[in-house]
Amino acid sequence: MGSMINFGIDLGTTNSLLARFNKGEVEVFKNPNGFKETLPSIVGFRNDRILVGEQARTFAEKDPKSVVSQFKRKMGTTETFKIKSTGQSKTPIELSAFVLKELKTFIRTGEVPDAVVLTIPASFDMLQSNATKEAGYAAGFKQVVLLQEPIAASLAYANKEKGIDLKNSQWIVYDLGGGTFDVALVKIVQGELKVVDHEGDNYLGGADFDALIVEKIVVPALTKRGQFKDLLSQMRSESGKHNRLWYRLLSLAEQAKIELSARSSAEIEVTLDDDSGTTVEAILPISRSEFESIIKDSIDRTAEMLRTILTRNSLRPQDLKFVLMVGGSTYSPFVRQRIEELLGIPVNTGIDPTNAIAVGAAYFAATREVNLREQDAKPTASDAIRIRVAYNRASQEAEEIFSAKVEGSTEGLFYRIVRNDGGYDSGLKTLAVRILEDLPLQADAYNLFSLKILDRHNNVVPADVDTIQIAQGKYSVAGQLLPEDLALVKDDMAGDTKLEPIFVKNTVLPARTKKTVEVSKTIVHGSDDQIQIIVVEGPSDNHFTANKRIGYLVISGKGLKRDLMRGTEIDLTFEVSESRDLTVQAFVNPSGPEFSQVFTPTRRDVPAATLAEEVRMLGTRLEEEKAEALASERFEVVDHLDKLLAPLKELHVESGLLAADDVTDSRYKLEDRKRKIAQEMNGLIAGKRVERLRGEYRETKERVSAIVTESGNDQERRQLHEIVAREHTFLNSNNPSKIEAAVDHLDRISFQILRRTPEFLIGWFQHLLEKREMLNDQLQAKNLIDAGKKHVAAEEFDRLAEVNARLHALLPQQVKESDEMRHFTGIC
Amino acid sequence: MDMRIQVPKCILTALNQLYDMERKLAKAGDAANITRNVNKIRAAFAEEGVAAADISGGVTAIRLVYEDPMGQPFKETRTDLEASISGSGTSDLVVVEVIKPIIRAVLRDGAGEFSKVVQKGIVVVESRKEC
C-alpha cells in the first residue's frame, strides 16, 4: 500500500483552512502570521505585490479593483477579474490557486504535499468541480481529490463520535459561516455518504449580524443620547462625518456578538462628538434577547430553506437523526435553539464549527492513497540562485532600503520577505535581476527578516541568502554599552543574600527599569533599624561581596513617620545615564516617603558599618566553605581557603576600627581588599552550589517521577513532562536559582499528589493534634478535632482534608511560617 | 525561527483593559491616583513576565508589552495590525482609531532578546489627506 494523501483543505468562500491527518489525529495548521486557523479567501494586488488573506482583506472594500474576494462563486464560469493595478485579468482558478499556495505556508512541519483533498459546496456542478481541481494543480499539487463540504463535516463528526451508528439514517448539515449559508441533506446510500439535496444563500452570515447590531441597536441608542442628523448614513458613507465610527462599531459589535454566545449580556463602549460638538460617552448594554430579536428573521429564513428540503424529499422532522451545526455563526445559542424549536429536530453541536470541514477533509485524505499523475511527477527544480545583497546592518531610521542583485534564471520565480516578529510581510513579488525593498524596522530591536525565493507553486527554491539582519536604534555602535551586570542585593531564604539583575551586561545606555521588593523585617519608626538598597556591578551569579559596590541607599527607622511593616512593598526605580551615573529612587508604599540618591562612578559610597558587616559575613562564609571542603575531602581547596584567612582577619580588625565619619580613603582601600578576597573565594568554590543543586534536581526528579507514575493524574504527568523537557536549559545555565525553582516545582507536584493520600492526611492531622494548645479558637478546634477523628475512623479522607485545612488556619501566624530568615539588607 | 507562542486569552484581555484604562486616565484625568497602579501592573507584565505555553519548548517566562499604534503609518505590508479603512482614500494611510493595541511577547534566548506579535492591533486607518 502506498502512502496516504493526509492533507485536507477547506477552500471556502470567505475563509480557507488546511488540516493534516497524522497517526489517528487531525491537526489544523495555523497561520504563522497571527496564529489564526483561518485564512481569508481574498487576494490583493497592490504596488506590484501579491497579498493573500488578512493583508488583502483590509483593502477588499476600498480598492475592489485591485483586491478580489468571493471568487469561489465564479468558479467554473468564464468570468475574469480585471486587476486595475497590474492591468491583467485573473481567473477564479488563478485566484483560488493563490489561496491554496498561501495555505501551504501554514504547514509548520515543513512538508511539501503533492496530493490534497479539496472541499467543494454541495451545489457545485461538474464545471465548478473541475475548475476547483484545476486550481489545485495550479497551486502545485499533483493529485487533487474533491470532497463535498457536508460530507466532510459529517466525517468530522463520525470520527469524533466513534461509537455512533449512522447506518440507515439521514441528517442535515447546517452551515452558517461568516458570509454564506448552506444546508444539505446527507444520508448513507449503499454504505457511502451522499448529499441528497441542498439549498443555500450566498449573502447571509455572521458579518451581516455585526452590521445589524450597529444599525438596529447602537445607532438608535446613540441618537437618543446626542444630537445627530442621520447618523447611520453619516457612518456608512465614505465621505460621511462619522465614517470612522462605522468601522470601529463593526469591530466592537463583533466582539459583543462573540461574548453573547457565552453570556446573557455584553456592552459596547463608545465616545464621539455629536453634531453640536458635545461629547457623547455611552456604555450601551446589549442583551442576548435584543441580539436574538434582530437576527431572528435571518435565522427563520435559514429554517425555511431547511423546511424546503424536507418537503421536497417528503421527509418529516422525525425522519432525521439530527441537524449538524457547522460554521462560526452556529456558536450562537439562539441559532441552535431556534432551529430546534422551528423544526423539532435535535441539533448536534458535537464538532468545532469553524474547522469541521477541514478536519473532515483530512480524515477523508487519510483514506485515499497518493497516486500521482505521471506528467506532473517531474520536479520543478530550478537552477541555483545566487544573491548579492547590500543594506545597512545598523540603522537609526524607521525603514531601511534592502537591495540585492540576483544571478541565475529568475523566470517564473517570486520572492517574499517576512520579519520574524510577525510585523511585516512583503507579500509575493516577482523576482527580477534586482530586488529593492523598503524594510520597516521595529524600534530599538534587532530586526531579523527571512528572504525566500519561491517557484510558481510556492515551493522554496534554495538560494545562498536567506536572512537579513538589521539592528535598529539601541544596537547602533554609537550607543554606550554597560560593561558589567548591575544587580540588587536581596536577602534569600537560606540566610544569605542573592543578586537580582537590574541591568544585564551590554544593555544600551541610557537605561531605566523598575523593581518592586518586599520588606523582610519590620522597621520601627524612630529606631536604628534600616533597610539597605545595595547595587553592585559584576556578574549576577557571583556572591555580592565579590562584586563592586556602586550604589547604596539606606532607609532608616529614623526617617520614617510610622512603622514599616514586614511585607510592605517598596518600588525601586533604577536609572543609568549615558555617562553611567546610577540613580536609585525608592518609594515606600503606603506611608509614602520617597528616598532618592544619585551615584557616580567617581564617588563610591561605602558606609563604614556596612563594610564591617560585609567583612564579618565573608568570614562566616569562608569558615562554612572550609568545613564543607574538609567534609568532602577537597584538601586543595581547604589549603587555598586557609591562605585567605589571615588577610581576612586583618581586614576584620581594620574595618572594625574605621570610624563612621572617617574622611580618608581608607574605606575604599578596605573595600577593594574585601572584594579581592571574596573574588578569590568565589573562584575556589565556583560551581559548587550549582553542582550540588544539579544532583539535588536529579534525585528529586527520580523520586517525583516514581510518585507521579504511581499516583499522578494527567495534569501532574504533563507538568512533570514539561519540567523534564526543558531541563537542559536550566541545568546548563549555571544559574542556581533556576535549578532551585525547578526542584521546588517538582516538590510541589509531589506534595500535591501526596496530600491526597490517606497516610499523609492522617499524619498531618496527628501533627496538628500535637499543636492543639496553640490553636487560636479552642472551641472550634475541639469540634474540628472530634470531626477529624471520626473521619479517620470512617476513612472519609476528603473530609479529613477539609478539617486539616481549617485546623491549619487556626495556627498562629509565626508557627505557620517558622520564620528563620536572616536579615542583611532587609528586602527580599 | 518558527517559534509559536500562545498567551492565555485572559492575559491578553487584562492587557487590553489596562491599555483602555491608561487611555481613559490620560483623557479624563486621574483624581484618585490610579495611574500609579496601572503603571505597576503594566510594569509587572513587561518586566517580570508571565509563564506561558511555548510549543517549541525552552522558554519558561515571557514578558508582555503593548504598543499603541495611534498615529503610525499603515501599509499593506504591515502584519501587526488588522485595519479597517475609513474614508475613500487608500494611499498614505495612518492609524486614527485604536480598538486594541499591538501586544508583543519579549523573549530571551542564547542570541539575545527578540519579540513576537501575540495580538495584532485592531485599528481604523484613514488617508492622511482626509484626516
pLDDT attached to residue A822: 52
Of the pLDDT bands very low, low, confident and very high (cuts 50, 70, 90), residue A785 is very high
Does A440 lie at the interface with B, CB-CB under 8 angstroms?
yes
**Rounded Cα distance, A209 and A297, in Å:** 11
Preceding amide of A590 cis, omega within 30: yes
Chain A CB contacts of B98 under 8 Å are none
Do A193 and A342 lie in one domain? The reply is: yes
What's the rounded mean pLDDT across residues A470-484? 62
Of the pLDDT bands very low, low, confident and very high (cuts 50, 70, 90), residue A603 is very low
> How do residues B55-114 score in pLDDT, each as one tens digit?
444 445 688 999 999 999 999 999 999 999 998 888 899 999 999 999 999 886 655 678
Do A469 and A486 lie in one domain? The reply is: no
Print burial letters for A619-647: b (CB count within 10 Å at least 16), e (below 16).
bebbeebbebbeeeebeebbebbeebeee
**Rounded Cα distance, A729 and B61, in Å:** 13
C-alpha dihedral sign at A723, A729, A734, A738: negative
> How do residues A140-173 score in pLDDT, each as one tens digit?
999 999 999 999 999 999 888 877 777 788 999 9
Among candidate residues A446, A475, A504, the one where a domain is terminated: A475
Mutate to test the interface with B, among A102, A111, A239, A244 (most CBs of B within 10 A): A244
C-alpha dihedral sign at A546, A548, A550, A554: positive
Give A362's contacts (C-beta < 8 A, 6+ positions apart): A6, A7, A8, A19, A20, A21, A26, A117
Do A146 and A99 lie in one domain? The reply is: yes
On whether residue A159 sits in a domain, the answer given is: no
On whether residue A377 sits in a domain, the answer given is: no
Among candidate residues A754, A769, A786, the one where a domain is terminated: A754
Q: What is the largest CA-CA distance in chain A?
A: 107
On whether residue A391 sits in a domain, the answer given is: yes
CATH number at residue A580: 2.60.34.10
Do A337 and A251 lie in one domain? The reply is: yes
On whether residue A420 sits in a domain, the answer given is: yes
Q: How far is CA A368 from CA A8, A104, A371, A693, A805, in A?
A: 11, 20, 9, 54, 58
In the predicted structure, residue A687 carries a pLDDT above the cut 70: no
Chain A CB contacts of B106 under 8 Å are none
Chain B CB contacts of A51 under 8 Å are 76
**Rounded Cα distance, B123 and B126, in Å:** 10
pLDDT attached to residue A663: 64
Q: Classify residue A798 as exposed, middle or buried by CB count within 10 Å of its CB (0-12, 13-18, 19+).
A: exposed
Do A255 and A110 lie in one domain? The reply is: no
Flag the least confident range among A134-143, A276-285, A388-397, B104-113: B104-113
ipTM: 0.82
pLDDT attached to residue A493: 62
> Reduced to 3 DSSP states, what percent helix, strand and coil does chain A have, rounded to the nearest 5?
40, 25, 30
**Rounded Cα distance, A803 and A817, in Å:** 20
Mutate to test the interface with A, among B54, B62, B64, B84 (most CBs of A within 10 A): B84
pLDDT attached to residue A380: 46
**Rounded Cα distance, A426 and A418, in Å:** 6
**Rounded Cα distance, A9 and A20, in Å:** 9
On whether residue A77 sits in a domain, the answer given is: yes
pLDDT attached to residue A598: 59
Do A315 and A191 lie in one domain? The reply is: yes
Closest among B42, B39, B69, B52 to B9, alpha carbons compared: B52
What's the rounded mean pLDDT across residues A313-319? 92
On whether residue A375 sits in a domain, the answer given is: no
On whether residue A40 sits in a domain, the answer given is: yes
Chain B CB contacts of A235 under 8 Å are none
Cβ B97–A516 below 8 Å, yes or no?
A: no
**Residue appearing with cell numbers 428540503:** A309
pLDDT attached to residue A814: 55
Do A646 and A790 lie in one domain? The reply is: no
In the predicted structure, residue A818 carries a pLDDT above the cut 60: no
Do A92 and A226 lie in one domain? The reply is: no
Do A322 and A461 lie in one domain? The reply is: no
Do A145 and A179 lie in one domain? The reply is: no
CATH number at residue A234: 3.30.420.40
Q: What's the number of domains chain A is made of?
A: 7
**Rounded Cα distance, A407 and A409, in Å:** 7
> How do residues A69-99 score in pLDDT, each as one tens digit?
889 888 888 888 999 888 889 999 999 999 9
How many whole angstroms from its chain centre is CA B32? Answer: 26
Q: How many Å lie between the alpha carbon of B107 and the closest alpha carbon of chain A?
A: 11
* pTM, two decimal places: 0.62
Q: How many Å lie between the alpha carbon of A727 and the closest alpha carbon of chain B?
A: 9
Does A561 lie at the interface with B, CB-CB under 8 angstroms?
no
C-alpha dihedral sign at A63, A65, A71, A74: positive
What percentage of chain A has pLDDT greater than the value 90? Answer: 37
Of the pLDDT bands very low, low, confident and very high (cuts 50, 70, 90), residue A621 is confident
Among candidate residues A460, A475, A490, the one where a domain is terminated: A475
What residue numbers bound the domain in which A83 lies?
A: 7-153+358-365
Report domain extents, chain B: 5-127
Instruction: Please state the φ and ψ torsions of residue B99, each to the nearest 5 degrees.
Output: -95, -40
On whether residue A806 sits in a domain, the answer given is: yes
**Rounded Cα distance, A158 and A162, in Å:** 6
Cβ B124–A421 below 8 Å, yes or no?
A: no
Give A13's contacts (C-beta < 8 A, 6+ positions apart): A41, A70, A72, A73, A177, A179, A180, A202
Of the pLDDT bands very low, low, confident and very high (cuts 50, 70, 90), residue A494 is low
